[in-house]
Amino acid sequence: MSELTTIARPYAKAAFDLAVEKNELDQWSEMLAFSAEVTRNETIANLLSGAVTADKLVDIFVSVSGEQLNENGQNLIKVMADNGRLKALPEVCDQFMALRREHEKQVDVDILSAVALEQAQLDAIAVKLEARLERKVKLNCSVDETLVAGVVIRAGDLVIDNSVSGRIRRLSDALQS
């Protein structure tokens, strides 16, 4: 996977720089997300690993994408196809989105709770995390009843485990030491 990351980085950066320059972040996000899904299609994935020429691959890709790709998006597909890099499109999309979040000072936060949280609780968590992380936060919430009570918050490398099961685990580790 690190090879795809290395391959995707310059394409993601170039697409991001162009999107910022032309003020088209939303449009590029949609184009890259759509293109990444096209590469995940079984038929297209087989073509990517087959003996199809780059020009033929671009024609197929653009015809499948229809109006989802503007001229610049089609140029990106052509360059990547010419270099045999279309398999890296999902990673290009991921890196583009990471650059966008960094540009917009936004971070995705995963909240795992024992029970569904009320909107007031989510708002309070968001306000505190925005102050702590100095970024806008986007909350992704899910429920895991095995936590017993409390929440586990993950934002990048930051993990705040305030669950009962987490406290029990930490107590058990302390007693065993």
| Cβ atoms < 10 Å from Cβ of 177 | 5
pLDDT at residue 1 is higher than 60: no
pLDDT score at 55: 78
Q: What is the pLDDT of residues 142-160, one digit of tens each?
A: 998 888 888 999 987 889 8
Nearest to 92 by CA among 26, 30, 22, 7: 7
pLDDT score at 6: 85
Contact 16, 31 (CB under 8 A): no
- The neighbouring-strand residues paired with 59 are none
By CB neighbour count within 10 A (0-12 exposed, 13-18 middle, 19+ buried), where does 49 fall?
exposed
Residue 51 pLDDT class (50, 70, 90 cuts):
low
pLDDT at residue 77 is higher than 90: no
Range of weakest confidence among 35-44, 86-95, 151-160, 168-177: 35-44
CA distance 145 to 113: 7
Fold observed for domain 2-102: Peroxidase; domain 1 (1.10.520)
Overall pTM surpassing 0.85 (yes/no): no
Domain boundaries, the chain: 2-102, 106-176
pLDDT score at 124: 92
Q: What is the pLDDT of residues 8-21, one digit of tens each?
A: 889 889 989 988 88
β 150-155/136-143 pair status? unpaired
